Structure 1
Amino acid sequence: MNILEDLKLQYKIGGIAHQLIYWNVGCFLVSLILFYQSQIGDFDFPFWIALKTDPTPFLYAPWTFLTYAFFHDGVLHLFFNMMVLNFSSQLFLTYFTQKQFLGLYFLSAIFAGFVFVGSYYFLNVSSGIVGASAAIMAILVAATTYQPLMNVRLMLIGNVKLWHITAVILIMDLMQFRLGNTGGHISHLSGAFFGFVFFKMLQNGYDLSMPVTAVIDFFSNLFRKSNKTPFKKVHKNYTKPVEKPTARVVTKDKSQQQIDEILDKISQSGYDSLTKDEKEFLFKVGK
């Protein structure tokens, strides 16, 4: 298997958090080709990708309230965001579902976008933003609100409480609020606020991610229905051939058992510890 096949396999088995990281990195690579201005050494994102505060652009491109959360204006910007996303997603997904994770990512980005546009509109300032920071802060704050006293081991520091890490990041945002990138800090704090509200609402029985979950379920069910064939209805008319479905279940159980063993091996020793046959088996199953 080559590197491309390994990346495809890790994308398929890595879960929603790893897939979002892949999408962010992919969008950054595309922006390097299309939007990077070598003359000025900076990115020039068009109005249909970056979130602009001028009313006209986002009226024609309302999807920018979400697309801005997948693009970054530099390698360090991308690296730091993806590092925090990987860290916070592991905490969040320990207690919540992948659909809630995706719903929170999308909704917090949209909420922070509206706050950013509204704030700059009243300040009569024209600007634009890109970056996943707001959505990432929402995920981190939601996990912190649920388990603030969780011990997290940091290199060169040792064990610290999760709320200490989150508090430091928020304080840094507040300290730099008027020093530069005010719009970015507004969106960060807005995302953090939405993450807090998301968990409190969930605690009271209201899952704000349900609209996103409903859309995902709709398209998932639509996809499953499209794969059904009329022959399955014909099989229901038979009374004798009972052994065939049993054989399928046994085969599926053996395959699932092998998948579980390989995933356990990955969690203990890492993906690189797999043999060539195990990687090929996972790649075939993931197709």
Structure 2
Amino acid sequence: MLRELRSRVEQLSYRVGITPTMGWLLFINLAVFIAGRLIGGFSTMLGLPPRWLFNLLAVPAWLPQLILEPWTLVTYMFYHVDFTHIFWNLMWFWAFARLFLMRRTSRQLRNLYILGGLAGGLLYILAYNLFPYFAGVLPAARALGASAAVMAITIAAAYDDPDREVYLYGLLAVRVKWIALAAVAIDVMSVTGSNAGGSIAHIGGAIIGFLYIHMLRRGTDLGAWLNHLLDWGKARPQRQGQRPRFRRYRGNQQHASSSGDSTRQQGTGGQYRRYTPPQDGPGASADRATSQAEKEAEEREIQRIIEKLKQGGYPALTSEEKEKLFRK
């Protein structure tokens, strides 16, 4: 069932011209919103407390409550209550995630979304506990929504390609750096307004968006730890220094073994004899050379597609080129 769902989400993503990662982030936000509305309606009819789901998913600012609900620091960035809230968040995400992907990968988009949400939530919690201005509302204050994560992607896309022009409402050409600066300025001026928590979270997302691209340009990916965490179950190359897996042969059966420095092979008389794995030879060297050549050819192809994307835009790419670029 999960495999079928994944296949459908990816097919729909390709069909509307976005990457599967974008499709999954949109799908999760929409699915949580719809499920929340349905559960909220049934809860009201059953006489359950109206805010139990809100308290389960929204992140609290009060530290004693946060200690009891640490998962909310993740769930809050996918949770929306109002239609207008999720609509504008996802519209903003749709626009700037596509700009971000013109220069960066889908993994980096996923990682930045999570990092932006975490940074926004942490700055919100810190500010509400640090400044006396929020003392009166601190015990009941909670934050929700993808705004901080989307702001991180917005600032990252603008910092990465500041002079790229976009058309507001299809009419007015504006460079993305001015849109990003205006968004940050509005949030800075709104930190004591009616949505103070949201504005503070936006600033946290903006900071991590700037730092993410700044560090990438210096060779450090702040989201590398998320690759190890979220891609844990996928095939990975053997790490340097890791003990190789040897093989134990018994009759015609072959079993993997990672213990010991050698393995043994059963002889015809029922006795075991030591077996030494084959060493690298000319054939292995040739295979490595072929693999390296294939990687270099793939990288050249990706660079060609990116250049074509820059010159002619997304519609200029063929279906095969889009698939290669998104898979990368």
Query: Residues 208, 145 of structure 1: CA spacing in aligned structure 2 closer, same or farther, 3 A cutoff?
Result: same
Structure showing greater Rg? 2
Aligned to 1:18: 23
Q: Percent identity?
A: 26
Alignment-derived partner of residue 78 in structure 1: 86
User: Larger deviation: 8-17 or 22-31?
Assistant: 8-17
What do you get for the CA RMSD once the two structures are aligned?
3.7
Q: Secondary structure at the match of 1:208?
A: coil
CA positional deviation for 1:156: 5.1
Change (3 A) 1:92 1:165: same
Give deviations 1:38-72, integer Å, cap 9, x for gaps. Answer: 79xx9664433110012233212212111100011
Which one of 162, 173, 176 corresponds to residue 190 of structure 2? 176
Larger RCO, structure (CA 8 Å, separation 6 or more) = 1
Work out which of the residue numbers 185, 191, 196 in structure 1 matches 2:205: 191
Q: CA deviation at 1:19?
A: 1.3
Q: How far off its partner does 1:108 sit?
A: 1.6
Further displaced range: 163-172 or 196-205: 163-172
Asked if residue 216 in structure 1 is aligned to residue 230 in structure 2, the reply is yes
Unpaired runs of 5+ residues, structure 2, are 237-253, 256-313, 324-328
In structure 2, do the counterparts of structure 1 residues 204 and 107 end up closer, same or farther at CA, with 3 Å as the change threshold?
Answer: same
Confirm or deny: 8 A CA contact 2:9 2:24 kept in the other structure.
no
Tell me which moved more, 129-138 or 57-66. 57-66
Q: Is the 8 A contact 2:112 2:153 kept in 1?
A: yes
Distance 1:161 1:122, change over 3 A: same
Match of 2:169 in 1: 155
In the other structure, the counterpart of 2:98 is 90
Q: Report deviation, 1:11.
A: 4.6
1:207-234 CA deviation, whole Å, 9 max, x = no partner? 0010001123322228xxxxxxxxxx89
> SS of 2:231's equivalent?
helix
1: CA distance between counterparts of 2:118 and 2:97? 19
Match of 2:221 in 1: 207
Decide whether the 8 Å contact of 1:18 with 1:86 is kept in 2.
Answer: no
Distance 1:200 1:212 in 2: 18
Aligned partners of 1:48 and 1:57 also within 8 Å: no
Task: Give the total of aligned pairs.
Answer: 237
How does the TM-score come out when normalised to structure 2? 0.63
Query: Per the alignment, do residues 169 and 16 of structure 1 end up closer, same or farther by CA in structure 2, a change over 3 Å counting?
Result: same
Please tell me the residue identity of whatever aligns with 1:9: Q
Q: Which amino acid aligns with 2:110?
A: L
Q: How does 1:51-70 map to 2 (within 5 A)?
A: 51-70=59-78
- AA aligned opposite 1:70: F
Q: Distance in 2 between matches of 1:57 and 1:140?
A: 31
Q: Counterpart of 1:229?
A: none
Change beyond 3 A, Cα 1:44–1:182: farther
Give, as a single letter, the amino acid of the residue that structure 2 aligns with 1:22: F
Counterpart Cα distance in 1 of 2:126 and 2:9 = 40
Kindly state the Cα deviation for residue 189 of structure 1 after the two structures are TM-superposed: 0.8
Deviation at 1:118, TM superposition (A): 1.3
Q: Which runs of 5 or more structure 1 residues have no equivalent in the other structure? A: 223-232, 235-266, 275-281, 283-287
TM-score by length of 1: 0.71
**Aligned partners of 1:77, 1:38: CA distance in 2, in Å?**
22
Alignment of 1:33-48 (within 5 A): 33-35=38-40, 45-48=53-56
User: Within 1, Cα distance between the matches of 2:104 and 2:78?
Assistant: 22
Deviations 1:69-128 (A, max 9, x none): 001120000000000000111011111111111111111211211111111112332300
Q: Point out the structure with the larger helix share.
A: 1
Question: Which position in structure 2 is the counterpart of 1:30?
Answer: 35
